[in-house]
């Protein structure tokens, strides 16, 4: 039984971009740096609304 969303990060980024949400790589990397959870370190992503 896997995680409910097993899509690659690039797929998620593309899908959210189509909904006007922009991936914030810098903020995502900062957050990943402070966790010891492997799945969180590899998958947590921060998005911002486009146009802000």
Does residue 1 belong to any structural domain of this protein? no
Does residue 51 belong to any structural domain of this protein? no
pLDDT (average), residues 26-31: 95
Mean per-residue pLDDT of the chain: 89
**3-state SS assignment for residue 22:** strand
pLDDT (average), residues 19-29: 97
Does residue 26 belong to any structural domain of this protein? yes
pLDDT at 1 over 60: no
- The pLDDT of residue 44 is 92
CB 22 within 8 A of CB 47: yes
* Number of structural domains in the chain: 1
Structural domain containing residue 19: 9-46
Q: What pTM value is reported for the model?
A: 0.78
pLDDT (average), residues 37-46: 88
């Amino acid at each position: 039984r896997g995680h409910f969303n097993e899509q690659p990060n690039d797929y998620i980024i593309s899908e959210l971009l189509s909904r006007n949400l922009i991936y914030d790589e810098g903020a995502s990397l900062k957050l990943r740096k402070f966790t010891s959870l492997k799945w969180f370190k590899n998958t947590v992503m921060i998005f911002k609304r486009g146009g802000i």
